[in-house]
Amino acid sequence: MTDAGTTTFAPEVVEAICRHMNDDHAEDCLRMVKGLGGVEATAATMTGLDGAVARFVATTADGPVDVVLPWSRPLTERGEVRVEVVRMHEEACRALGIEVPAAEGH
C-alpha cells in the first residue's frame, strides 16, 4: 500500500523498470537485497516500486522473502529512479565489502 502523499508511477513505468532491472541487472538486485536488506539470498527479483520504496522478492534457503528498500528521498519522476538505484547499488556493494562493478550502461 502507498502512503498518502507518496508518488505512484504508472503501471507501465513500473513494469518497464522492473523488467529492465530483472533482465539486465539481476546481480545488482541481489546485491541490494543482501547489502541493504540484510537478506541472505541466492537471487532477487524487483517486483515493484513507488516514490518511497523499491520492492523485491528474494530467494532464500527458507523460501521467498519480501524485501522493501526505501529510497534516500521521495521520488516524483521516473528519471530519479535510475539515480537512486545506482546509489543504492553502490551503497550495497560497500556494505558487502565488494568493489562496485564498472557501469555497463543503463
Task: Note down the domain range covering 66.
Answer: 11-96
Confirm whether 1 is domain-assigned: no
Helical pair 78-96 and 11-24, crossing angle rounded to 10 deg: 30
- Give residue-wise pLDDT tens across range 15-50: 999 999 999 999 999 999 999 999 999 999 999 999
CATH number of 52's domain: 3.20.180.10
Confirm whether 66 is domain-assigned: yes
Confirm whether 56 is domain-assigned: yes
Structural domains in the chain (count): 1
Confirm whether 55 is domain-assigned: yes
Which of residues 106 and 15 earns the better pLDDT score?
15
- Give residue-wise pLDDT tens across range 48-85: 999 999 999 999 999 999 999 999 999 999 999 999 99
Task: Measure the CA–CA gap between 106 and 103, rounded to whole angstroms.
Answer: 8
Output the pTM of the full model. 0.89
